[in-house]
């Protein structure tokens, strides 16, 4: 007996964007954090692209196009294409230098790659698709850079100029703020507290490392943008592109990715691969951060409803310098030990 196909019904149209976002506290926090974080000087000095809102709306526009291809409403796709276009026109890119074109190209490339993966792949979850999209983006970007005048040196110079511009801008803003009477009074009461010098030193160190880690940070930032866009799209559109994002406490991925950590560590540490040391460090940071998130997810899963309170207490008492390594070890160990299954099995007994 053949069951007739149920026509696709959209849960919400574009006019209910705010209700779709507000319907989930997790969505509200994710969007707010993703858009607002680049305003902090330390974050600006670290991330390759500070136009996070542009990354977000571009990804949603591409997902909307894929949804239309799968039977969704055309006006929804056109709306988000128009929004993305307006964001591109209004984006605050530096007037000089190549960074603006590099950033625009990467944003379009990652969103388009995610759309292509969604068209080709229909059964895999979000994280597998996001990793595939990032891999495609890097392959295409590397090819484009190699055939472009100046190649890698020009791209590295553009990123270096942009990061130094951000650091100088942030330092200038803090110096101007320090001239205000309230700040002068605060410094008079605490003569040893020189926030300007502290920030200048901190931002210089961050920008030095972030310039080396541009590929790793760009990949992590792009995955975050795609994740937020994926969640928002499925809140606004009833044409699913794949499974919705699961709860963070259940976050896991293919155990074979541990080879990314192993390869990165080998290239970074062994003298035989000295010429590729930076590439190894980028692999190590990228895959290491994924396992750090996996470890934090295990901690959240273990404490369940008390997660936020416990994490805040632990981080305030011991600091993230201790919490981070513990989470990383848990995440890596989960590859072989599957902590959550073991804990669940013991609780059943």
* Structural contact between residues 195 and 174, judged by C-beta atoms closer than 8 angstroms: yes
**Interior angle at CA 68, CA 64 and CA 74, nearest 5:** 95
The Cα 245–Cα 234 span in angstroms is 9
**Separation in Å, CA 28 to CA 23, 41, 190, 231, 264:** 8, 23, 38, 11, 35
Listing DSSP states for 267-321 in one string gives HHH-GGGGGGHHHHHHHHHHHHHHHHHHHHHHHHHHHGGGHHHHHHHHHHHH-HH
DSSP state of 249: G
* Structural contact between residues 130 and 286, judged by C-beta atoms closer than 8 angstroms: no
Which has more confidence, 176 or 17? 176
pLDDT digits (tens, 9 = 90+) for 275-296: 899 999 999 999 999 999 999 8
pLDDT digits (tens, 9 = 90+) for 80-108: 999 999 999 888 787 667 888 899 999 99
The Cα 25–Cα 255 span in angstroms is 30
Q: What is the mean pLDDT of residues 205-233?
A: 94
* Structural contact between residues 60 and 80, judged by C-beta atoms closer than 8 angstroms: yes
What is this structure's pTM? 0.87
pLDDT at 5: 40
DSSP state of 199: H
The Cα 84–Cα 62 span in angstroms is 10
Three-state DSSP class for 1? coil
Sign of CA dihedral 145, 146, 149, 155: positive
pLDDT at 147: 86
The Cα 287–Cα 56 span in angstroms is 23
Q: Is the pLDDT of residue 315 over 70?
A: no
């Amino acid at each position: 007996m053949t069951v007739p196909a149920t026509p696709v019904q959209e849960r919400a149209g574009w006019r209910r964007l705010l209700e779709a976002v507000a319907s989930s506290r997790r969505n509200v926090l994710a969007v707010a954090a993703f858009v607002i974080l680049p305003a902090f000087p330390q974050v600006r000095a670290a991330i390759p692209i500070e136009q996070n809102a542009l990354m977000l709306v571009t990804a949603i526009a591409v997902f909307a196009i894929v949804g239309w291809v799968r039977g969704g409403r055309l006006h929804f796709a056109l709306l988000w294409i128009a929004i993305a276009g307006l964001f591109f026109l209004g984006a605050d890119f530096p007037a000089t230098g190549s960074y603006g074109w590099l950033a625009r190209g990467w944003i379009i490339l990652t969103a388009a790659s995610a759309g292509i993966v969604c068209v080709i792949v229909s059964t895999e979850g979000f994280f597998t698709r996001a990793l595939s999209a990032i891999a495609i983006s890097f392959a295409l970007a590397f090819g484009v850079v190699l055939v472009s005048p100046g190649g890698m040196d020009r791209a590295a110079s553009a990123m270096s100029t942009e990061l130094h511009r951000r650091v100088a801008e942030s330092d200038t803003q803090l110096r101007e703020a320090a001239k205000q009477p309230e700040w002068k009074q605060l410094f008079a009461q605490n003569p040893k507290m020189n926030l300007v010098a502290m920030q200048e030193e901190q931002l210089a160190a961050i920008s030095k490392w972030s310039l080396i880690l541009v590929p790793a940070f760009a990949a992590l930032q792009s995955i975050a943008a795609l994740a937020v866009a994926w969640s928002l799209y499925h809140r606004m559109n009833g044409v699913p592109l794949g499974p919705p994002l699961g709860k963070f406490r259940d976050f896991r991925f293919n155990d074979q990715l541990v080879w990314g950590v192993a390869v990165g560590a080998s290239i970074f540490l062994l003298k035989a691969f000295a010429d590729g040391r930076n590439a190894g460090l980028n692999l190590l940071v990228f895959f290491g951060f994924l396992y750090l998130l996996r470890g934090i997810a295990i901690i959240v899963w273990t404490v369940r409803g008390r997660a936020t309170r416990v994490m805040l207490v632990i981080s305030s008492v011991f600091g993230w310098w201790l919490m981070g390594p513990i989470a990383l070890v848990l995440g890596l160990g989960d590859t072989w030990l599957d902590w959550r299954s073991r804990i669940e099995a013991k609780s059943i007994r």
